[in-house]
């Protein structure tokens, strides 16, 4: 992938997370993937923790349309306006930032700006970011609508794919988690069960 | 595993109890062994110590209650070193670098402990050599520290300055160890040995479990060892070339010898008292005279000395037992003590074989009697030399080797036997003991405390272990090392001649190669001397 893939645009932002809308319906980055956006000189890194596809207008719910159609694709073909009436959004938890070409695995000074573009990080960048596991602490302590264990395991699975030796990466991450979660054995066990290779 | 790999870090500890080391996840706890040497890189000093305990830890107790699925290698790998980890208990005993004293004088005893999170590594060959030295003119290679290829060398000149002990259960290798030490003394120190060889193991050939007999001192060092025997016939049967036969005259036995034999001869307390009375009455020939008395004469004697008849009968029975010993003669043709002393003076080591007379009565009687004479000689010569202030008049250092030492040195008789005296006054008169025993708890604690260096093979009786380790610092740790020694060919040495306690495997003894190594060590020095002449 030569060009960095643009995943969407920030439509809501706070210090700890931001929400982005995808340009195309259903083109959502996978759960746990690393995305980045910009606030002037600072690049913000986020991990996708949640995604939703809803009606463009909050009061207007979609209705079932497939009674006379042969396939699901046929629904969209016969009602092309649907693609414009629905939207896909995803939320990303801010886990670090890059300033003056230096990576910091903690929160940036300012949140992302609305309408900033959100990009999916290429493997080299994911690898670079994954060299430190300090971001795991942010994930562990975040209050999210999805279970933390799911998010952590998903993000580690995603990151491991950028590494030539995923197992070594996951073992190292697992060890870091074992230290961070030494007081919460069940959580540790759940995560390890989800990232095992 | 490379030798200098980091094992872990210091996490807690005290000088008294040693330090706790948390193992790194890369180091397997199963590779660790009690008794191995490690170095600890403190901020200012390098410490040298020994692993004395290995344990397992978990960060969360629940992990122990609901164990994770470790059949999955991934989970096992993650948890190893983090949630579950190994700990080592290390007792640092020496400082081997970092301060001025260690640079000038070599390893120093520890007076502090390394700081938190100091790195712990396996000791390298250089480290161990720094501590235990290398083989040279004074140092003798006795074995390898457990699990290491490094040579453990003893300064034998230092060793023989004090009395020493070798302990261990029967069949743990005491005899082999003693043989190695005797060879070492013969080669590397000025001291001569007098060995009371109860089981005929040290002179010509020794037995080996499940193998052919091994060569002993005389076969290896023909010119420097003399074998005396109490039982000429037996020695001849075994094909031993002896240098002399020991016969003991009746007049050589003194009341003190009888006192020592009280238990073995089953004498009563009054009977022992009577010995002194009879001795006063008859003088030198008391034994002969007492046994020769007829009924009339004895009645008179009893009346005169106020001895009860049953006491006298008890005494006579005891004395008759002694008289029946075949090497006791009314008037022997040679003076054994003189012959032995002559050999010792020439620097020849003397092994006294007991042949068939292995019962303890003979052993105690002979060992005690000869030692007393020899010791008296040494004492008078030493006093003369001191008075004349001439070092060259001083007799050669003598090491007397005794087996079954608890018979001579038990609390009841230690005060009376010559060995008790030697053990206590030790080096003043250049005579020291090498005590070999399997029941160290039977030895008087006062004597035990005077032993300079102790080497102990496996002991499993609690009292024996306690008595061997009495007064040693880090006793609890050594106890665990001692209890884990293999039943054969492993020993723990501690005391005067070594800078720190160490568990080791004695060097090989019994193969043709080993004999060559033992004998060539002496020859190599001669060759070196010859080379020097040409330089």
* 3-state SS assignment for residue B505: strand
**Residue B2 pLDDT grade (very low, low, confident, very high; cuts 50, 70, 90):** very low
Residue A183 in contact with partner chain B when CB distance is under 8 A: yes
Mean model confidence pLDDT for chain B: 81
pLDDT at B154: 84
Q: Which of A42, A14, A33, A12 is nearest to A104 (CA)?
A: A42
Bridge partners of B85?
B57
* 3-state SS assignment for residue A98: strand
Task: Tell how far CA A34 is from the center of its chain.
Answer: 6
Task: Tell how far CA B467 is from the center of its chain.
Answer: 14
pLDDT at A92: 95
The answer to whether residue B82 scores a pLDDT higher than 60 is: yes
pLDDT at B99: 67
**Residue B100 pLDDT grade (very low, low, confident, very high; cuts 50, 70, 90):** low
Q: What is the mean pLDDT of residues B5-9?
A: 86
Any idea what DSSP says for residue B414? Answer: T
The answer to whether residue A33 scores a pLDDT higher than 70 is: yes
Residues A113 and A39: beta-carbon distance below 8 Å = yes
The DSSP string of A101-126 is: TEEESS--SSPPPTT-EEEEPPHHHH
> What tokens does B330 get?
């009314």
Question: How far apart are the C-alpha atoms of A95 and A138, rounded to whole Å?
Answer: 7
Look up the pTM and report it. Answer: 0.70
**Residue A20 pLDDT grade (very low, low, confident, very high; cuts 50, 70, 90):** very high
Of A171, A183, A185, the CB nearest to B78: A171
pLDDT digits (tens, 9 = 90+) for A177-195: 988 888 888 888 889 888 8
The dihedral through the CA atoms of B360, B362, B364, B365 has a sign that is positive
How much of chain A, in percent, has pLDDT values that exceed 70?
98
Contact: A175, B75; criterion CB under 8 Å:
no
Contact: B83, A174; criterion CB under 8 Å:
no
Question: How far apart are the C-alpha atoms of B311 and B289, rounded to whole Å?
Answer: 17
Longest distance between any two alpha carbons in chain A, whole Å: 58
- Residues in A touching B79 (Cβ below 8 Å): 178
Q: Which residues contact A117 (CB under 8 A, 6 or more apart)?
A: A6, A8, A9, A10, A37, A38
Mean model confidence pLDDT for chain A: 90
Any idea what DSSP says for residue B80? Answer: B
B203 sits in which H/E element? none
B409 vs B48, higher pLDDT: B48
pLDDT at A13: 93
- Tell me which long-range contacts B373-382 makes (C-beta under 8 A, separation of at least 24): B373/B337, B374/B194, B374/B337, B374/B340, B374/B341, B374/B344, B374/B398, B374/B400, B374/B431, B375/B418, B375/B421, B375/B422, B375/B429, B375/B431, B377/B341, B378/B429, B378/B430, B378/B431, B379/B429, B382/B428, B382/B429, B382/B430
* ipTM metric: 0.78
> What tokens does B353 get?
């074989």
- For residue A104, the distance in angstroms to the closest alpha carbon of chain B comes to 25
Question: How far apart are the C-alpha atoms of B480 and B503, rounded to whole Å?
Answer: 11
Q: Cα dist. B60→A102, A153, B221 in Å? A: 37, 22, 63
pLDDT at B1: 41
Residues B325 and B364: beta-carbon distance below 8 Å = no
Of A171, A185, A196, the CB nearest to B63: A185
pLDDT at A54: 92
- Residues in B touching A175 (Cβ below 8 Å): 25, 78, 81-82
Query: Which of A166-170, B173-177, B321-325, B358-362 is predicted most confidently?
Result: A166-170
Q: What is the mean pLDDT of residues A49-61?
A: 90
Q: What is the mean pLDDT of residues B295-310?
A: 78
pLDDT digits (tens, 9 = 90+) for B365-404: 888 888 888 888 888 888 888 888 777 777 788 888 988 8
pLDDT at A2: 43
Return the HEC string of B355-412. Answer: CCCCCHHHHHHHHHHHHHHHHHHHHHHHHHHHHHCCHHHCCCCEEEEECCCHHHHCCC
Bridge partners of B398?
B192, B431
pLDDT digits (tens, 9 = 90+) for A65-100: 888 888 988 998 888 888 888 999 999 999 999 999
Q: Is B117 left (phi over 0), alpha (psi -120 to 50) or beta?
A: left
- Residues in B touching A179 (Cβ below 8 Å): 82
């Amino acid at each position: 992938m030569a060009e960095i893939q643009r995943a969407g645009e920030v439509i809501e932002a706070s210090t700890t997370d931001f929400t982005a809308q995808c340009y195309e319906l259903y083109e959502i980055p996978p759960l746990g993937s690393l995305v980045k956006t910009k606030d002037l000189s600072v690049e913000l890194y986020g991990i996708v923790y949640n995604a939703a596809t809803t009606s463009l207008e909050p009061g207007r719910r979609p209705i079932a349309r497939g009674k006379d159609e042969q396939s699901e694709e046929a629904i969209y073909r016969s009602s092309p306006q649907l693609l414009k009436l629905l939207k896909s959004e995803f939320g990303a938890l801010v886990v670090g930032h890059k300033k003056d070409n230096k990576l910091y695995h903690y929160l940036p000074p300012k949140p992302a700006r609305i309408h900033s573009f959100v990009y999916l990080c290429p493997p080299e960048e994911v690898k670079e970011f994954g060299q430190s596991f300090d971001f795991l602490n942010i994930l562990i302590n975040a209050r999210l609508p999805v279970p933390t264990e799911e998010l952590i395991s998903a993000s580690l699975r995603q990151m491991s794919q950028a590494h030539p030796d995923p197992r070594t990466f996951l073992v190292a991450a697992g060890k870091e988690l074992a230290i961070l979660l030494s007081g919460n054995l069940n959580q540790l066990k759940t995560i390890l069960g989800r990232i095992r290779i | 595993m490379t030798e200098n790999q980091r094992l872990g870090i210091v996490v807690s500890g005290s000088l008294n109890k040693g330090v706790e080391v948390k193992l790194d996840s890369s180091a397997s706890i199963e590779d660790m062994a009690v008794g191995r040497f490690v170095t600890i890189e403190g901020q200012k000093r390098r410490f040298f110590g020994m692993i004395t305990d290995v344990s397992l830890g978990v960060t969360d107790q629940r992990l122990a209650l609901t164990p994770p699925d470790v059949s999955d290698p991934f989970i096992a790998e993650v948890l190893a070193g983090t949630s579950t980890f190994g700990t080592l208990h290390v007792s640092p005993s020496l400082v081997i670098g970092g301060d001025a004293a260690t640079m000038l004088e070599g390893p120093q005893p520890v007076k502090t402990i390394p700081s938190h999170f100091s790195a712990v590594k396996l000791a390298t060959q250089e480290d161990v050599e720094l501590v235990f030295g290398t083989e040279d003119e004074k140092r003798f290679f006795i074995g390898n520290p457990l699990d290491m290829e490094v040579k453990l060398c003893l300064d034998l000149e230092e060793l023989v300055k004090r009395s020493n002990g070798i302990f261990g259960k029967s069949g743990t290798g005491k005899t082999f160890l003693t043989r190695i030490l005797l060879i070492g003394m013969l080669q590397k120190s000025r001291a001569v040995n007098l060995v009371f060889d109860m089981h005929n193991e040290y002179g010509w050939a020794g037995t080996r479990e499940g193998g052919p007999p091994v060569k002993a001192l005389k076969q290896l060092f023909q010119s420097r060892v003399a074998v005396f025997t109490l039982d000429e016939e037996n020695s001849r049967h075994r094909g031993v070339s002896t240098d002399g036969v020991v016969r003991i005259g009746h007049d050589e036995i003194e009341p003190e010898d009888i006192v020592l034999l009280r238990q073995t001869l089953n004498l009563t307390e009054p009977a022992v008292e009577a010995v002194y009375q009879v001795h006063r009455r008859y003088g030198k020939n008391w034994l002969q005279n007492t046994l020769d008395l007829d009924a009339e004469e004895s009645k008179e004697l009893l009346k005169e000395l106020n001895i009860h008849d049953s006491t006298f009968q008890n005494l006579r029975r005891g004395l008759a037992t002694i008289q029946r010993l075949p090497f006791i003669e009314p008037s022997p043709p040679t003076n054994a003590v003189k012959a032995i002393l002559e050999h010792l003076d020439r620097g020849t080591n003397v092994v006294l074989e007991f042949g068939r007379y292995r019962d303890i009565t003979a052993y105690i009687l002979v060992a005690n009697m000869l030692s007393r004479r020899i010791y008296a000689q040494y004492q008078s010569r030493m006093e003369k030399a001191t008075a004349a202030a001439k070092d060259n008049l001083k007799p050669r250092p003598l090491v007397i080797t005794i087996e079954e030492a608890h018979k001579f040195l038990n609390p009841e008789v230690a005060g009376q036997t010559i060995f008790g005296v030697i053990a206590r006054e030790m080096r003043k008169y250049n005579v020291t003991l090498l005590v070999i025993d399997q029941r160290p708890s039977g030895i008087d604690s006062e004597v035990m405390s005077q032993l300079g260096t102790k080497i102990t093979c496996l002991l499993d009786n609690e009292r024996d272990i306690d008595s061997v380790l009495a007064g040693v610092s880090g006793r609890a740790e050594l106890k665990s090392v001692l209890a884990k020694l293999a039943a054969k060919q492993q020993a723990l040495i501690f005391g005067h001649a070594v800078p720190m306690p160490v568990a080791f495997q004695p060097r090989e003894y019994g193969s043709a190669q080993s004999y060559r190594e033992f004998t060539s060590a002496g020859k190599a020095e001669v060759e070196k001397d010859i080379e020097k002449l040409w330089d």
